[in-house]
Amino acid sequence: MVKYQRQYDLFKHNDINVSEIKILQDIFIDKKIIKEWQEKIINHQSTIFKYGYQDINQSSLFEPNSKELNKSFNPMDLSPLPLSFWRWPKAMHKGAAIYFVMDNIIDSDENIILYIGETIAAEKRWKGEHDCKNYLSSYCDCLQKANMSTKLNIRFWLDVPNKTKERRKLEQELIQAWLPPFNKETREIWATPFTSQIN
């Protein structure tokens, strides 16, 4: 696995001491700090949005032309759904999927992938409890307190393996490529503050 340079601590210069804050509602993160955090993620992910997944090799999971598929695949090509999609009377997507929880950074018109997950049942995965829902709630609260807007959505990629082991392997490769900040594998890389109070 490629080693990534650790990002600077989001809370350098003691902008906030998260360990002393016990109540989620009391978290306040300055707008400048949030923008810097978002910009670091944009700097990493924008290259992948633009050029694709040159380093991902899924030849064992797809047809022989899989390298072409992976290089041209872009989550932006998937239909965005509101995070409340699961409340709709009719399921939009069913079956195995990899899903991408994204935010459109309104000031810059850039997109960031906040979380990548996999499921055997796209129509059911987002119902009920999910750690990412808590992180997104904290993220939205912090942005609102900093007078920042958010445009969250979720996108499902259905052209994925039905076998759980193969699908999870693909999920991990996507996580290692995109480094979404709300996945447990990458939180420390980005010094993600929105997850620290709800683990």
pLDDT band at 90 (very low <50, low <70, confident <90, very high): low
Count of residues in the chain: 199
Say how many C-beta atoms besides its own lie within 10 A of residue 7's C-beta: 18
Helix (H, G, I), strand (E, B) or coil at 198: coil
Cα 119 from Cα 158, distance rounded (Å): 10
Cα 112 from Cα 181, distance rounded (Å): 9
The structure tokens 């989001």 sit at: 10
Whether the pTM exceeds 0.85: the reply is: no
Render pLDDT for 52-81 as a digit per residue (tens, 0 to 9): 765 444 444 444 334 444 556 789 999 998
pLDDT above 70 for 32: yes
Cα 95 from Cα 171, distance rounded (Å): 16
pLDDT band at 89 (very low <50, low <70, confident <90, very high): low
Render pLDDT for 140-175 as a digit per residue (tens, 0 to 9): 899 999 999 889 999 999 999 999 999 999 999 999
